[in-house]
Structure 1
Amino acid sequence: MQKHSIIDESHAFWDEVVLPLLAARFPAETAQMAAGVFGYGSEVLRLDDVYSADHHFGLRVNVLLPEELMNTRGAAIEDALAEGLPSAWRGRELREGYTRTKGVALGSLEHHLRSTIGLDAPPNSYSQWLSIPEEDVMHITAGEVWHDPSGRFSAVREALAGYYPEEVRLRRLAHWCRYFSGMGVYALKRALLRENELYASTTFARSLRWGVQMAFLLDRQYYPYDKWLATMFHRLPRMGARLAAIVEEAPKLSTSWERKLDLLHQMSDVLDQAMVEDGLIAPHPRYRVSATSGYRLLESAYAELIRKCPVEIRGVVPQWEQVHWEGFHSEFVAGVGLEDWRRMLLLEECE
């Protein structure tokens, strides 16, 4: 059962305050809106806790309009919301968002999609699927939508919730096999041989993340934004249990470098075995660990997987990291006063 969250209070706020106001003043526009809590923030996954409340937290309703309607009627709707919404409700302050009305974040549907998945409609080709940063899919599919008479936004959510086409999943899986093995395990072994702890630290952390990303792909679940990883990883139906001991021990400061490398080797075997079980790669004999290059097992899997991918996407590198959001965020920050920005960051002058 999902725990109580600010999302529940926001739903009541929408039903009792926001929807009646909008329906009375803008009935035609309200019929084309999508509204709920979605996008960014731990609350969209009901993972908000005591620490979530120290910034950008409070009652929140996300409202999307078709772009043309937002351009022609958005300002009038925002004016009405700014005038008609209370400053607090049931003891809750209204959340500051990326628009000028507290408690309600009004934006265009197309802009929301472009700033997260980089597209303004559901992907319709393998290449478009690969262009979406995986971490951003949840910013479309997570949360709740309470109002969407036109069904436009819900259609995008449903298309993405159906998960990757198998060809796309294999291409992403091949990508992480290559990175985990060739730029992870191999690189970590060389860093340790050269006593380069800075490189060892960065490549180890990346390797662990890449291995976990493969676990999500193998269980056909989207990899989340990193801050939600610990919770979401342990919910994986198959790979979570198989890799839990490795994922818990490996990052500990008390775990030696040699042990960290050995745990990544063990992770290689677990991931490889799952791919054999799933028929993604052929059964094979066990291999020895190289004294100079580590255990590059998953690069063997990479070679098998990439051959199964359609020719048109073999050379397409899957997008990852929040590149589309960063473009929007940069423009937003550039338009905010420095004092307001520092206040959002909880930066207070020392006495």
Structure 2
Amino acid sequence: MTFGVFGMGSEALGMDDELSRDHHWGVRIDALMPADVFNTKREEMLRVLDSHLPATFQGHEMGEGLVAGAGIAPDILPGFLARTIGIDHPPDTYEEWLSMPEEDVIHVINGEVWYDPVGEFTAIRRKLQNYYPEPVRLRRIAHWCRYFSGMGTYALKRAILRNNDLFAALAFGKALRWGIQLAFMIDKRYFPYDKWLLAFFKRLPSLFEKIGPIVDEAVRMTASWERKLYLLDKMSDILDSAMVKDGIIKPHPKFSGSESSGYRLLEHAYQEILKVLPQEIKTIIPQQEQIHMEKFVVGYVDGLDTESWHRLLNLTES
């Protein structure tokens, strides 16, 4: 048996506030138990707990989230892992590491574990907290370099040249996100879901100090597309220098971009990294989307009645 507070939710990250408490929030304990106990005793445990737990604790209601159970959420470790990182065991191969959505790794290593006498969950958390194997980190960095440069700054440059504001807005937003996520990878920190990105970004040991002011200016509505592109290009230089310093890529001459394609600097790093990767992972595309959790959410939502779903959405008839 394992007890603590971890998994989904702002409260497991210490990020909850009044706004985040309007759905799927409340006092809870997460409990992982052997499958045989879960399968044979779960319903009885929930009944007993429901009759003994108080309705509130220190002014807060008992919470019931995506897993059934108000105040305590019983689960099994393989099930928790599968819906979070997509595999029911700790990653053993490079391919398994690359199949995990990075922002969902945080839901395994976050929060607190108070009781884990066998130590299985604690060992998994420690393995993930030690970060990616280096070939996996490099494969992810290469992929994000390609996207930031080829589908971000290059795309924004073309959008500006064609006076296409919609394309520019889409390209800028994606490029900024990819650039910040690259900073996490270079600093060997997992990046979280977007709504927590700024708070975690500020904790980066090296690159926030260098990139933070660029991001702060770039997101201002008063910055023109040309200025935003200039700032992204400055971010490219900083990320490139950080990769050289880290030994990810070799020192190289200074490059210039072009009037039609812009400054595709990080695609230089993309190719250089690809050439030194193990052959078996060169063509594996890292998972970017929260597909495993979303598969679970589909079943969860499908099992709710419409009134309960509207209540979670805070939708009321007007």
Aligned ranges 1:39-58 → 2 under 5 Å: 39-58=7-26
* Aligned amino acid, residue 85 of structure 2: I
**Which stretch has the larger CA shift, 157-166 or 52-61?**
52-61
| Cα distance between partner residues in 2 of 1:305 and 1:320 | 19
Aligned pair 1:273/2:252, yes or no?
Answer: no
1:107 aligns with: 75
- Contact 1:94–1:103 (Cα < 8 Å) also in 2: yes
User: What's the CA shift for 1:199?
Assistant: 1.2
Aligned pair 1:67/2:35, yes or no?
Answer: yes
CA offset digits 1:46-89 (Å, max 9, x no partner): 11122222222221111112333312222222222222222122
| Cα distance between partner residues in 2 of 1:201 and 1:39 | 33
User: What's the CA shift for 1:198?
Assistant: 1.0
Aligned pair 1:178/2:146, yes or no?
Answer: yes
- Contact 1:64–1:107 (Cα < 8 Å) also in 2: yes
| Cα distance between partner residues in 1 of 2:281 and 2:127 | 20
- Contact 1:67–1:111 (Cα < 8 Å) also in 2: no
| Cα distance between partner residues in 2 of 1:345 and 1:51 | 13
**Which stretch has the larger CA shift, 248-257 or 88-97?**
88-97
2:129 aligns with: 161
Aligned pair 1:90/2:28, yes or no?
Answer: no
Structure 1: tracts of 5 or more residues without a match: 1-32
Say which of 197, 201, 205 aligns to 2:169: 201
**Which stretch has the larger CA shift, 159-168 or 80-89?**
80-89
* Aligned amino acid, residue 263 of structure 2: Y
| Cα distance between partner residues in 1 of 2:164 and 2:206 | 35
1:133 aligns with: 101
Say which of 253, 269, 277 aligns to 1:309: 277
RMSD over aligned Cα, in angstroms? 1.1
**Which stretch has the larger CA shift, 282-291 or 296-305?**
282-291
1:344 aligns with: 312
2:182 aligns with: 214
1:4 aligns with: none
TM-score (norm 2): 0.97
| Cα distance between partner residues in 2 of 1:53 and 1:93 | 11
| Cα distance between partner residues in 2 of 1:110 and 1:80 | 25
- Contact 1:36–1:147 (Cα < 8 Å) also in 2: yes
- Contact 2:86–2:292 (Cα < 8 Å) also in 1: yes
| Cα distance between partner residues in 2 of 1:241 and 1:263 | 15
User: What's the CA shift for 1:91?
Assistant: 2.3
**Which stretch has the larger CA shift, 144-153 or 308-317?**
144-153
User: What's the CA shift for 1:161?
Assistant: 0.6
**Which stretch has the larger CA shift, 189-198 or 296-305?**
189-198
1:237 aligns with: 205
1:25 aligns with: none
CA offset digits 1:6-53 (Å, max 9, x no partner): xxxxxxxxxxxxxxxxxxxxxxxxxxx211111111111211122222
Query: Any idea what SS the aligned residue of 1:243 has?
Result: helix
| Cα distance between partner residues in 2 of 1:175 and 1:56 | 34
Say which of 124, 144, 160 aligns to 1:192: 160
User: What's the CA shift for 1:148?
Assistant: 1.2
Aligned ranges 1:248-263 → 2 under 5 Å: 248-263=216-231
Aligned pair 1:295/2:263, yes or no?
Answer: yes
Query: Any idea what SS the aligned residue of 1:116 has?
Result: helix
User: What's the CA shift for 1:101?
Assistant: 2.5
- Contact 2:24–2:66 (Cα < 8 Å) also in 1: no
| Cα distance between partner residues in 2 of 1:153 and 1:322 | 21
Structure 2: tracts of 5 or more residues without a match: none
* Aligned amino acid, residue 199 of structure 1: F
Equivalenced residue count is 318
| Cα distance between partner residues in 1 of 2:314 and 2:195 | 19
CA offset digits 1:154-178 (Å, max 9, x no partner): 1111110110001100000000000
| Cα distance between partner residues in 2 of 1:310 and 1:330 | 36
User: What's the CA shift for 1:99?
Assistant: 3.8
4+ residue runs of structure 1 moved beyond 6 angstroms?
Answer: none
2:5 aligns with: 37
Query: Any idea what SS the aligned residue of 2:124 has?
Result: helix
| Cα distance between partner residues in 2 of 1:242 and 1:99 | 41
1:223 aligns with: 191
2:85 aligns with: 117
1:11 aligns with: none
